[in-house]
Structures are given as C-alpha cells and as structure tokens.
Amino acid sequence: MTTTPLSADVLVIGWGLAGLVAASEAISAGKRVILIDQEPRSNLGGQAWWSFGGLFFIDSPEQRRLGIKDSLDLATQDWFGNAGFDRAEDHWPRAWAEAYLQFAAGEKRAWLRERGVGFFPVVGWAERGGYGAIGPGNSVPRFHITWGTGPGIVAPFAEAVHRAEEAGT
C-alpha cells in the first residue's frame, strides 16, 4: 500500500467489465484514471471473465442470417411487457431501458467490433418468453456469444487499461 497521494481526472471503483469499460473510455478521452477494486489483480474483469460472454443485440446480422425477425419495436414490447413501467417512479428506469434498447439496436455491436470483439455466428435464446411478445422474456433469440466467451469480452478493455498503466497515464 502506498501513502503517496495520487491524483487523476477519473476514479473508477471496481475492475469488473463495467469498470474496465468506464476506465478505457476515460483513457481514450485523454483522462488520467485511477482504477481500484477490493479484489486482487488476478480477478481483473470480475464475473464477466467467468461468464459465457453473452450479449444482447437487436436485429443483428447474426439474427438476420438465421432468419430471425427482430426489431427495436419488438424488443421494446418484450422489455416493457415484463417491466410494467406503470408508476411515476418508473420514469428513470424506463428512460434507461429506452436508451439501452436503442444502443442494442444501433451502435453497440459496431462499437464492440471496433474494439476487436467478435461473435459466434449463432444466436441463443436466454430468458425465453412465450411464443409472442406478450409473455415474460424475449419473444425471439437475442443472446449473442462473444468469441472467446467471458475472457473475449474483457480482453480489449483490460488491454486498454494495461497500455495506459504502462504508459503512466
């Protein structure tokens, strides 16, 4: 442990996938980052490293290749049919869900591909619902497996953090 004061533009607490993504994005924006976690460095990536690497996309090339007809409207119907969003206090959860669905239907896949993340050419059906968009879960397969599973999704973000650390930024 150091007693030397440290300074940075951004403090990220937790080096699971979310923390690594936040840190790498801050680094790419030219910010100095301190990344801390209660776990040892050997656990970089957190639970994501141990995961199957499944990611949610809407109307992906993989889905289209397999003949799966998906759309932002259908995914929204699936999600909102589960969530309800029928109370005043649901405003922010609903806004987050809308933004995330737009990301999953839009730039998410390309953003990950730009960072070197690849995907198996199959689509799974995690959280399967009924056979229409009225039951709980997803009405079509949307579960995309990262090439390399959990370590494959963690790697580009961990590498960005390692490069910045080696460069002293």
pLDDT, tens digit, 9 for 90 and up, residues 51-100? 999 999 999 999 999 999 999 999 999 989 888 899 999 999 999 999 99
Whether 46 and 59 share a structural domain: no
What's the Cα-to-Cα distance from 156 to each of 47, 118, 161, rounded to whole Å?
A: 16, 11, 9
Pair 45, 99 in one domain: no
Strands 33-36 and 10-13: parallel
Co-location of 79 and 137 in the same domain: yes
Is 157 in the same domain as 112?
no
Q: How many domains does the chain have?
A: 2
CA–CA separation, 51 and 30 (whole Å): 30
Q: Are the C-beta atoms of 34 and 9 separated by less than 8 Å?
A: no
Give the domain extent around 30.
Answer: 1-52+149-169
Q: What pTM value is reported for the model?
A: 0.85
Report which secondary-structure segment, H or E, holds 105.
Answer: helix 91-105
